[in-house]
Amino acid sequence: MNSDDQLIFEFQQGSRDSFVELFERYREPIYGFFRRRLEHPARAEELAQECFLALLQNVQRYEPRAGFRSYLYGIAIHLVAAERRKAGREVAENEKLDSRPLEGNAAENNDAGIWVRNALGHLEQSEREILMLREYEQLSYGEIAAVLRMPVNTVRSRLFRARAALKNQLLPVK
């Protein structure tokens, strides 16, 4: 299987199929990224589209510095930040994470999921972001550091704090 960077290189050379493969690989992860961070599924889908369109637009400028995944999630983080800033209600967003049940598929709207969601909402924002990038997007410490532009050691210590805090919150359920 070709690596992401190889696929993006092929796409830069004009291979349509390479992009389709990349899109297939990251379609669900990117949608999940936005879905877990935003309230409305439609909005999440819209931003996931935006993310891929931004990739399409800027593909010729892409340079393999920190890896494709860092680049892609960097765009995604940027879009989420812009979305929150635009709404001007970052704090309110956290509250919604806390209180509101997920819309959408009822089967996935399980109790444990709501608990996790609520617990995540109580974390400090940068710690929550690191934890989510690690657990859901499966990024390495180095990739997270590149996406959030912070040292790897900071990523590790904050990830540890986030996990400890989350464990404390989830403990009663267990």
Partner 1 sequence: MERNAQHAFDAEEVMAYLDGELEAQRAAALAAHLVSCSECQEVAQGFRALSERMLSFEVEHPSARMNETVLAALDSGDSSRKAVPSISGQIKSWNWRRVFAPPYVWAFAGLGSVALLAVVIIPSFFRARQAAWLDTQRATGLSAPHDEVQSLRTEPLYAPKPGLTMPMNGRAAQASAGEGWAAPAPPPPSAGDELKAPETVGPMIVQTASLNILATNYDEASAAIEKLAAAHGGYVEKLDAKAQTGNARELSAALRIPTKQLDGFLSDVRKLGHVEEETRSNEEVSDQYVDLQARLKSARATEQRLVELLGTRTGKLEDVLEAERELARIRGEIESMQGQSTILVHRVNYATVQVNLSEEYRQVLGSGPISTGTKIRNAAVEGFTDLEGGAVALVVFLFAVGPSLLFWLAILLVPGWFLWKRFRLRAQR
Concatenate the DSSP letters of all residues of 140-153 into one string: -HHHHHHHHTS-HH
DSSP letter, residue 2: -
* Interface size with partner 1, residues (CB under 8 A): 53
Burial 90-113 (b: 16+ CB within 10 A, else e): eeebbeebeeeebeeeeeeeeeee
Q: Nearest Cα to 64, choosing from 9, 111, 11?
A: 9
Which residue's CB is nearer to partner 1, number 78 or number 95? 78
Q: Out of 13, 61, 63, 174, point to the residue binding partner 1 (CB under 8 A).
A: 174
Tell me the C-alpha distance between 31 and 37, whole Å. 10
How many Å apart are CA 32 and CA 80, to the nearest integer? 13
**Cβ pair 139, 73 in contact under 8 A:** yes
Window 37-96: residues binding partner 1 (CB under 8 A) = 40-43, 45-46, 48-50, 52-53, 56-57, 81, 83, 86
Q: Binding partner 1 by CB under 8 A: which of 9, 21, 25, 32? A: 32
> How far apart are CB 88 and partner 1 at their closest, in Å?
13
CB of 64 to partner 1, least distance (A): 21
Residues at the site binding partner 1, with contacts judged by CB under 8 A: 16, 19-20, 23, 27-28, 31-32, 35-36, 40-43, 45-46, 48-50, 52-53, 56-57, 81, 83, 86, 102, 104-105, 108, 110, 112-113, 115-117, 120, 131, 134-136, 140-141, 156-157, 159-160, 163-164, 166-167, 170, 174
